[in-house]
Amino acid sequence: MPARERRVSGLPGLPRTLPEVVGARGALSDAVLLDGAQVDAVVVAVAPPREAEDGLQPRAGTVDATVRYGVDLAELAERAGGRSFRGASGEVVRVDLPRAHAGSGVRLPWTGLPPRILLLGVGAGTASDLRRAGAALARASRGLERVVSAATADAGPDAVRAFVEGYLLAAYDQPRQSGSSPSAAEAAAEQLVLLAPEDRPDDTAPIEAAHRAAAATWLVRDLANIPSDVKDPAWFADRAVELADALGLDTTVRGPAQLGAEGFGALLAVGAGSARPPRLVTVTYDPTDHGVLPRGVDVRHVVVVGKGITYDTGGLSIKPREAMVPMKTDMAGAAVALAVVLGAARARSDRRVTAVLPLAENHVGAASYRPGDVLRTWSGRTVEVANTDAEGRLVLADGIAYAVAELAPDVLVDVATLTGAASLGLGRGHGALFATDDAVADALESAALTTGERVWRMPLVEDYTDALRSDVADLRHVPVESPGGGSITAALFLREFVGDVPWAHLDVAGPARATADRHEVVAGATGFGARLLLEALDRL
């Protein structure tokens, strides 16, 4: 396992310690691995019936466990799970084995063995199936200390990584502001041991990769779930600097005076109505500074700009009460950008990565910007305001233009909880992907297939550009009469500030939040996009 990082002083528990996952050589037939005094449960994999076959099908570890325990596990699964348990990915049955009465002299076949068996459905055994299986295992093993699993014993590295990612992602617990910690019964097993045969390369590399990806997602979830009475732009900026300093990364923070002096007019306008003023944070990882590449080597530079609205009332175009409740997560894009640059540093990527975080609170106050105002953005272009609740594209306009002109990116990606239209069109399971460059789009789509964070490429419809025209400014950020396709017109607006840099825009308004647990996704902030962009780095 990777060395555990020191805690950051500004916020106890950030970054938090994830459950431990380790690899081990051996099989469930090895006596030393199944000491019932040290292992709380054994996990074996089962699959659905094949065509023309009856009953659940054994998978890795099932036969060894059957022999060791002296019971027919397939029959046990059918008895415990009933007709509903078919071995599909994400299904799990927990069997607590009975103990012999003390003093009876009876020795049961499983005496001295772990007292629980977790029968885990793995479906067809694909990476996606195993990710769901890992998530199901995390929830089924809550309250246990040490669990030994043979479910991935016949899986390749990508499938092992998916299984561990699913386990770690579903093990997430939302921080409590009371200061109390989750009880042991609420937490996933403290240690998961993955068994692998002696003749296969060990699982260290896929386990570590999964840990880095899950840690990035946990960070995004934690930051997004913090309530906005704590999390204002200054607080977020401080956390970003502390996390970056812990890894030796370069940071810059611009406060309101510097933002005004340098012309970040859109960011300042969005934050003007709040008593807690905006910030612009940049965090850079350079592989030549960390000994990954020699100095003088041409390094590809990937810049990720994340929308950082720490709370969104809608401003003077105020939201309904119900729509405000989840708005503490409206900075999820900035959290993803921060997690990506930190994750690149931990993975010692050979890409230079910079996160640009425009942070503001869109509030209502005497200084609030108004519909009808004309803002001068950092690029010098003017924008007519039509709806103060479309503030995300304004702060991104300043962040993107600054990144293009000052940071010389080879690839630019922005990520934002930007439009309700994206979730209306694609639902909660997909991010909307827009791109000016097919290679960049292909890289993100390929990474999405690997991580399971699904995206759908959307068109930049040229016919809609007329909707951005203004009679009083260079651009109008929301159409007078919408042609429909609200996520498309938002993307077209952002494109105006990109120039010739290969660019992708990821609208995660749908998948960034969830109302219930489902597989590796948890209720609340989901952290969508962190694993996707980390996976895409080497492909960009």
Residues 6+ apart with CB under 8 A from 22: 1, 191, 192, 193, 194, 207
* Nearest alpha-carbon partner for 364 in 307, 396, 318: 318
Whether the CA torsion 192, 195, 201, 202 is positive or negative: it is positive
In the three-class reduction of DSSP (H, G, I as helix; E, B as strand; rest coil), residue 21 is classed as strand
Q: Which amino acid appears at position 319 of this protein?
A: K
CA end-to-end span of the chain, whole Å? 28
CA atoms of 538 and 540, how far apart (whole Å): 6
Of 51, 113, 69, 59, the closest CA to residue 91 belongs to: 59
| Helices 157-170, 204-225: crossing angle, 10 deg rounding | 30
User: Do 529 and 453 form a contact (C-beta atoms < 8 A)?
Assistant: yes
Assign residue 148 a region (left: φ > 0; alpha: ψ between -120 and 50; beta: otherwise).
beta
What is the residue type of 400?
I
Q: Are strands 41-47 and 57-58 parallel, antiparallel or unpaired?
A: antiparallel
Contacts 24+ apart (CB under 8 A), 63-66: 64/27, 64/28, 64/29, 64/150, 65/28, 65/117, 65/150
Active-site residue, from 319, 428, 454, 457? 319
* Sign of the alpha-carbon torsion through 365, 367, 370, 376: negative
Tokens read off for 505? 């825009």
Residues 28-54 as b or e (16 or more Cβ within 10 Å = b): beeeebbeeeebbbbbbbbbbeeeeee
Distance CA 213, CA 127 (A): 15
How long a stretch of residues is the chain? 540
Render the burial of 205-222: b for 16+ CB within 10 Å, e for the rest. ebbbbbbbbbbbbbbbbb
Q: Report d(CA 396, CA 391) in Å as an integer.
A: 9
Single out the catalytic residue among 68, 132, 307, 393. 393
**Catalytic residue check, 393:** yes
Bridge partners of 304, per DSSP, are 355, 413
Q: Do 308 and 299 meet the contact criterion of CB atoms below 8 Å apart? A: no
CB atoms within 10 A of CB 501: 19
Query: Which is it for strands 503-507 and 411-416: parallel, antiparallel or unpaired?
Result: parallel
Catalytic residue positions? Answer: 319, 393
